[in-house]
Amino acid sequence: MNTGDTAWVLVSAALVLLMTPGLAFFYGGMTRAKGVLNMMMMSFGAIAVVGVLWVLFGYSAAFGKDVGGGLLGNPLAKLGLQGVLDTGKTMPLVGTIPEIAFVGFQAVFAIITVALISGAIADRAKFGAWMVFAAIWVTVVYFPVAHWVFDLNKDANGNNTGGWLGQGLGVIDFAGGTAVHINAGAAALALCLILGKRKGFGKDPSHRPHNMPFVMLGAGLLWFGWFGFNAGSALGANGVAGYAWINTLAAPCAATLGWLLVERLRDGHATSLGAASGAVAGLVAITPACSAITPMWAMALGLLAGVVCAMAVGLKFRLGFDDSLDVVGVHLVGGIIGTLFIGLAADPNSPAAGQGLFYGGGLELLGKQAVGAFAVMLYSFIVAYVIGWIINKTMGFRISSAHESAGIDISVHAESAYDFGGRVSGSFHPLEENPAWQHETPARTESKVDA
Partner 1 sequence: MKLITAIIRPEQLDDVRGGLEGYGVQGLTVSSAHGYGRQRGHTEIYRGAEYTVDLHAKVRIEVLTSDERAWDLMDIIVATSNTGNAGDGKVWMVEVYEAVRVRTGERGVAAI
345 sits near partner 1 (criterion: CB under 8 A): no
Partners of residue 160 on adjacent β-strands:
154
Q: Which amino acid is at 239?
A: G
Q: Which is nearer to partner 1, 86 or 267 (CB)?
A: 267
- Any residues with CB less than 8 A from the CB of 247 and at least 6 apart, and which? 230, 286, 289, 290, 291, 293, 295, 298
The dihedral through the CA atoms of 197, 201, 206, 212 has a sign that is positive
Q: Residue 271 or residue 294: which is nearer to partner 1 going by CB?
A: 271
The verdict on 190 binding partner 1 (CB under 8 A) reads no
Nearest-approach distance from CB 310 to partner 1, in angstroms: 7
E strands in 251-334: none
Residue type, 192: C
- CB atoms under 10 Å from CB of 425, counted, come to 4
Q: Which residues make Cβ contacts (< 8 Å) with residue 42, sequence separation at least 6?
A: 24, 115, 118, 121, 125, 127, 130
Question: Residue 226 and residue 222: Cα distance in Å, rounded?
Answer: 6
Q: Is 205 an interacting residue with respect to partner 1 (CB under 8 A)?
A: yes
Least separation in angstroms between residue 270's CB and partner 1 is 10
Of 199 and 444, the one with the shorter C-beta distance to partner 1 is: 199
Does position 257 interact with partner 1 (CB under 8 A)? The reply is no
What backbone torsions phi and psi does residue 203 show, to the nearest 5 degrees? -125, -45
| Residue 131 or 315 having the CB closest to partner 1 | 315
Site for partner 1 (CB under 8 A): how many residues?
18
Find, among 307, 270, 266, 269, the residue nearest to 285 by Cα.
307
Interaction between residue 314 and partner 1 (CB under 8 A): yes
- DSSP string for 90-132: B-SSSTTSBHHHHHHHHHHHHHHHHHHHGGGGTTTB-HHHHHH
341 with 289: CB under 8 angstroms?
yes
Neighbours of 82 (CB within 10 A): 10
Q: Is 269 in the site for partner 1 (CB under 8 A)?
A: yes
266, 296, 367, 429: residue in contact with partner 1 (rule CB under 8 A): 266
The reply on whether position 310 binds partner 1 by CB under 8 A is: yes
Q: Which residues of 351-370 are buried (b: 16+ CB within 10 A; e: fewer)?
A: bbebbbeebebeeebbebbb
Pick one of 6, 43, 277, 287: the residue that binds partner 1 (CB under 8 A): 277
Least spacing, CB of residue 277 vs partner 1, in Å: 6
Does residue 429 touch partner 1 according to CB under 8 A?
no
Select the span of 17-25, 139-147, 309-317, 379-387 touching partner 1 (CB under 8 A). 309-317
Q: Rule CB under 8 A: is residue 209 a binding residue for partner 1?
A: yes
Q: Does 267 bind partner 1 (CB under 8 A)?
A: yes
Q: Of 47, 48, 66, 57, nearest to 84 (Cα)?
A: 57
322 binds partner 1 (CB under 8 A): no
Q: Which is nearer to partner 1, 200 or 362 (CB)?
A: 200
Contacts of 422 (CB under 8 A, 6+ apart): none
As measured in angstroms, the least distance from the Cβ of 188 to partner 1 is 16
Nearer to partner 1, 422 or 442 (CB): 422
Q: At what angle do helices 3-30 and 272-289 cross, to 10 degrees?
A: 140
The nearest distance, CB 39 to partner 1, in angstroms, is: 16
Q: How far apart are CA 129 and CA 398, in angstroms?
A: 8
Q: Does 418 bind partner 1 (CB under 8 A)?
A: no
Query: Contact with partner 1 (CB under 8 A): which of 273, 382, 386, 395?
Result: 273
313 binds partner 1 (CB under 8 A): yes
Shortest spacing between CB 196 and partner 1, in angstroms: 19
Does residue 274 bind partner 1 (CB under 8 A)? yes
Stretch that binds partner 1, among 4-12, 129-137, 248-256, 308-316 (CB under 8 A): 308-316
Report the residue number, 73 or 209, with the smaller CB distance to partner 1: 209
- Closest CB to partner 1 among residues 75, 218: 218
Is 317 a binding residue for partner 1 by CB under 8 A? The answer is: yes
CA dist., res. 85 & res. 94, Å (int):
15
Regarding 293 and contact with partner 1 (CB under 8 A), the answer is no
Answer for which of 151, 173, 263, 409 binds partner 1 (CB under 8 A) is: 263
> Applying CB under 8 A, which of residues 271, 400, 416, 447 lies at the interface with partner 1?
271
User: Near partner 1 by CB under 8 A, which window of 52-60, 203-211, 404-412, 438-446?
Assistant: 203-211
Q: What are phi and psi of 385, to 5 degrees?
A: -65, -45
Query: 441 burial class (0-12, 13-18, 19+ CB within 10 angstroms)?
Result: middle
> Any bridge partners for residue 90, and if so which?
98
Binding region for partner 1 (CB under 8 A): 205, 207-209, 263, 266-267, 269, 271, 273-274, 277, 310-311, 313-314, 317, 326
